[in-house]
Structure 1
Amino acid sequence: MWILFSPSEKKRTSHSQEIQSKKGFYKDFLTPNLKEVLDSYHAFLTSASDEELKRLLGVKKLNIDEIALLQNIFKTPLLKAILRYDGVAFRALDYENLPLNSQEYIDRQVLIFSNLFGLLRANCCIPYYDVKQGIGFLEFESKKFYASYKEKYFQFLDKEKEILDLRAGFYQQCLPIPPKFLVYEPIFIKNQKKVSHYAKYYRGILLKECANKNVKTLSELENLLIEGLKILDIKRDITTSKVFIYYEVTP
């Protein structure tokens, strides 16, 4: 069972587990020809105006230290992707404090959808980078990028036939999963209303429990007991062949 996960806007600029960069660090990633993308990214970062940089990064004020890291993307230290991201879902997951076998599960089963690197294994080591969701640079656009490599990604995904989709909508649009896969997507309900923005927190909790209980199939997921989350219903959408698993957020 693959578990698909979104990245976060916020990323750690440094970490105790960082390792020294190496030439061609991206060569074992799932996406080929990344050097072309990274060369283009580097060229933009070193030539763009302040306003262009603010748009790319989605900020109102530039941080000089972070810009320096971005402009040296080929030389800055590397860190596991699962640790580089620092958003709500990743803090809920709390990877660093999980047992070793749970960390190994995540390294093996989780795939993260990067705005720059494409499909990443959780244990791929990446430098600090930043690209605001949906914002491109020069000829690069995330959705077009994923579309150009979709067949390669599907070939890799085909190693497993079941997928737990914990992605946000933007990344689902980047790579829609074909009906040949059995896909489960969680929907979180609180006070009889669908949780929207804070759903990323519960996705992190769900991933954490899957890792701790070594969930290998979607049928096992249906029987997984999670504190604070109660399964209300499981429904198949006949138009998409996707299965929605509804969780009630409980006190």
Structure 2
Amino acid sequence: MANYKVKQGNDIGKFVPDKFYKDRFSYQLDLYLGKSEILDLRAGYYDKFYKVTKPYTTLKFLKDGKTVSHWAKAYRGLVLRAVAQNNINSMKEFMAMEIEGLSVAEIVVVKNKTEIVYNITN
């Protein structure tokens, strides 16, 4: 296999990854998700691959009042770990859960998207 590197966001000739996946998998994802509650832990870049059409929740992390982008994956991992350790099965349970090192700063609801904004406390 030849040594190659394709950077995120680049097309491969006429192949446009985000359009390809959005066109071919959105319907199937909608069916799969059905009536499930959605905690969307994707990085913002992946929003263009699939548009969630039903109510869903995302997370945002602030450190000293500034949005964390580079380390956001680590904080999403902390949240996911807490969800697994506490056997969380619904958004109601999720909203009641305390996560060490994070405190809810605000909850913003726009259309079908609920964004929980966390302050990083440690």
Q: TM-score range by the shorter chain?
A: 0.7 to 0.9
Which secondary structure state, in structure 2, belongs to the residue aligned with residue 166 of structure 1?
A: coil
Aligned-partner residue type, residue 187 of structure 1:
K
CA distance in 1, matches of 2:15, 2:47: 19
Name the count of aligned residue pairs. Answer: 121
2:43 maps to what in 1? 168
SS state of the match for residue 84, structure 2?
helix
Identity of aligned residues (%): 36
Give RMSD over aligned pairs: 1.8
Once the two structures are superposed, the pairs formed by residues 171-250 of structure 1 within 5 Å of their partners are 171-178=46-53, 181-238=54-111, 241-250=112-121
Quote how far apart the aligned CAs of 1:137 are.
2.9
| Correspondence 1:1-251 to 2 at 5 A | 53-54=4-5, 56=6, 132-149=7-24, 150-160=26-36, 162-178=37-53, 181-238=54-111, 241-251=112-122
Deviation, structure 1 residue 135: 2.7
- CA displacement 1:136-162 (0-9 Å, x = unmatched): 3354322122122211121111151x1
C-alpha distance in 2 between matches for 1:141 and 1:246: 32
User: Mind listing any 5+ residue stretches in structure 1 that lack a counterpart?
Assistant: 1-44, 57-131
3-state SS in 2 of match to 1:163: coil
> Distance between the aligned counterparts of 2:47 and 2:100, measured in 1?
27
Q: Alpha-carbon deviations, 1:11-30, whole Å to 9, x = none? A: xxxxxxxxxxxxxxxxxxxx
In the alignment, the residues of structure 1 paired with residue 64 and residue 107 of structure 2 have an alpha-carbon distance, to the nearest angstrom, of: 18
Q: Equivalents in 1 of 2:91, 2:20: separation in Å?
A: 29
> If you compute each CA radius of gyration, which structure gives the higher value, 1 or 2?
1
**Secondary structure of the equivalent of 1:203?**
helix
Confirm or deny: 8 A CA contact 2:38 2:56 kept in the other structure: yes
Residue segments in structure 2 that go unaligned for 5+ positions in a row: none
**2-side partners of 1:227 and 1:175: how far apart?**
31
Q: Under a length normalisation based on structure 2, what TM-score does the superposition of the two structures give? A: 0.87
- AA matched with 1:185: T
Tell me, what secondary structure is at the counterpart of 2:15? coil
Question: Using the alignment, how far apart are the partners of 2:34 and 2:16 within structure 1?
Answer: 25
Taking structure 1 as the reference length, what is the TM-score of the superposition? 0.45
1:197 deviates by 1.3
